[in-house]
Amino acid sequence: MSFLIKKPDDIKSSEITSQSVYHERREFIKKMSLATTALIGAGHLSLAEAKAYPELAKSQFSSADKLTSLDDIKSYNNFYEFGTGKVDPAKNAKNFNPKPWSIAVEGEIEKPGVFDLEDFVKPYALEERIYRFRCVEGWSMVIPWVGFPLADMIKQFKPTSKAKYVEFVTLYDKEKMPGQAIRVLPWPYTEGLRIDEAMNPLTLMAVGLYGDELPNQNGAPIRLVVPWKYGFKNIKSIVKIRFTEHEPVSTWHKIGPKEYGFYSNVNPDVDHPRWSQKTERRIGEPFWSPKIQTQMFNGYSEQVAHLYSGMDLKRFF
Ligand code: MTE
């Protein structure tokens, strides 16, 4: 069943990837899935072990840090739509069914539309990106995401000259997301980026991690990953992407403008009003391990510092 209302009829895969690379990749994926099916058939692999993205090229932007375990990534979450405790999302998102899913793309673009998730993702080359992930609360992880650069998608929708920002919106459905029955946050969860931040090659639309589909508690079926910003900018379970002329108001900024700025770049020199941001604790490491020194832009200065040249980062925090 397709939820497609308007087809992106002029999005051709060949516009993004050369024909030969595209066909080689398709061939490879076909062979891999045949091999996986054969392994399942022969009883060497159970269906549960067959991953959605078994073989992906690793991005040049990948970090060499030790990976956080899949168990930790899936069991220590912030996803208020499924409860405010760290263990709540794993428990309460068990029955969440992210299929079918559609995404509306609208605002200051030439090609707005509402797309079935599969059609939306199909044109883009997926890759594995191992990124450091730093939460504003002082903990961090290293996560092997599966995704594609947001810039690839933005180019297809042809933003107009008025498109200065991109706003993202999470699903609002109390039946499916029980935490939304309580007004701990103004629902739906929203986030935003400046268009040049959105176009930066590091900015990722993630559809999986550890070679498989995104676990529900991590933002299935599609979420944003902006590794040089604090975790809350990484909005989950996105249903709408809107291009705007004016800076969008993100959820955490709305409820605490003095604590959560629009930019929220990782910055050890700008404390949160209630705690320091100089160090972090890697989830999964023994509690006696020394704390890690947090790096400017979470260690991604080379790729992103130029976006903020001349800006007072204490004011635009
Ligand atoms: N997105 C939505 N829709 N709702 C949320 O509560 N929490 C944010 C972010 N995205 C959140 C969200 C916060 S505070 C963090 S730290 C990260 O998701 C956590 O991502 P993870 O659970 O995959 O580690």
Q: Return the domain boundaries, the chain.
A: 17-50, 52-308
Q: Which residues pair with 229 in a beta bridge?
A: 265
Show the DSSP H helices in the chain as ranges: 19-41, 70-75, 88-92, 117-121, 150-157, 195-199, 251-255, 301-304
Asked whether residue 35 carries a pLDDT value surpassing 60, the answer given is: no
**135 CB under 6 A from ligand 1?**
yes
CA distance 89 to 79: 6
| pLDDT attached to residue 40 | 53
pLDDT tens for each residue of 232-280 = 999 999 999 999 999 999 999 999 999 999 999 999 999 999 999 999 9
Asked whether residue 52 carries a pLDDT value surpassing 90, the answer given is: yes
**53 CB under 6 A from ligand 1?**
no
**221 CB under 6 A from ligand 1?**
no
Asked whether residue 19 carries a pLDDT value surpassing 70, the answer given is: no
More confident: 78 or 41:
78
CA distance 281 to 37: 41
State CA 311 to chain mean position distance: 26
Asked whether residue 8 carries a pLDDT value surpassing 60, the answer given is: no
The tokens describing 316, both together, are: 């635009």
The tokens describing 220, both together, are: 């299935």
CA distance 168 to 177: 17
Q: Are 190 and 168 in contact (CB under 8 A)?
A: yes
What is the residue with the minimal CA distance to atom 12 of ligand 1? 235
The single residue listed with the structure tokens 């992210």 is 98
Residue type, 197: E
Residue 30 dihedral angles phi and psi, to the nearest 5°: -60, -45
Residue type, 3: F
| pLDDT attached to residue 255 | 96
- Assign 281 a pLDDT band (cuts: 50, 70, 90): very high
Asked whether residue 50 carries a pLDDT value surpassing 50, the answer given is: yes
Instruction: Output the CA 192–ligand 1 centroid distance in Å.
Output: 14
pLDDT tens for each residue of 206-225 = 999 999 999 999 999 999 99
What is the residue with the minimal CA distance to atom 10 of ligand 1? 235
pLDDT tens for each residue of 91-144 = 999 999 999 999 999 999 999 999 999 999 999 999 999 999 999 999 999 999
| pLDDT attached to residue 47 | 55
Q: Are 277 and 271 in contact (CB under 8 A)?
A: yes
Instruction: Output the CA 70–ligand 1 centroid distance in Å.
Output: 16
Q: Are 250 and 233 in contact (CB under 8 A)?
A: yes
Instruction: Output the CA 224–ligand 1 centroid distance in Å.
Output: 10
The single residue listed with the structure tokens 């986030």 is 191
- Assign 228 a pLDDT band (cuts: 50, 70, 90): very high
Whose CA is closest to 130, among 61, 201, 42? 61
The tokens describing 116, both together, are: 């079935």
Give CA separation, 93 vs 97, 116, 117, 217, 261, in Å.
9, 22, 20, 6, 28
* Mutation probe of ligand 1 site: the residue of 205, 223, 234, 253 with most atoms within 8 A of C-beta: 234
**189 CB under 6 A from ligand 1?**
yes
CA distance 168 to 224: 9
Instruction: Output the CA 234–ligand 1 centroid distance in Å.
Output: 6
Whose CA is closest to 101, among 124, 125, 119, 122? 119
Q: Which atom of ligand 1 is nearest to the CA of 137?
A: 16
Give CA separation, 50 vs 46, 208, 225, 226, in Å.
7, 14, 25, 28
* Mutation probe of ligand 1 site: the residue of 78, 171, 216 with most atoms within 8 A of C-beta: 78
Query: What's the chain's length in residues?
Result: 317
Q: Which atom of ligand 1 is nearest to the CA of 77?
A: 22
Mean pLDDT of 148-176: 98
**232 CB under 6 A from ligand 1?**
yes
- Superfamily covering domain 52-308: Oxidoreductase, molybdopterin-binding domain (3.90.420.10)
* Mutation probe of ligand 1 site: the residue of 75, 76, 79 with most atoms within 8 A of C-beta: 79
* Mutation probe of ligand 1 site: the residue of 135, 230, 232, 233 with most atoms within 8 A of C-beta: 232
* Dihedral angle sign, alpha carbons of residues 8, 10, 16, 20: positive
**79 CB under 6 A from ligand 1?**
yes
- Assign 28 a pLDDT band (cuts: 50, 70, 90): low
Mean pLDDT of 297-314: 97
What is the residue with the minimal CA distance to atom 13 of ligand 1? 232
Task: Give the chain's mean pLDDT.
Answer: 90
Residue type, 227: P
**250 CB under 6 A from ligand 1?**
no
Q: How many CB atoms lie within 10 A of CB 9?
A: 8
Residue 6 dihedral angles phi and psi, to the nearest 5°: -130, 125
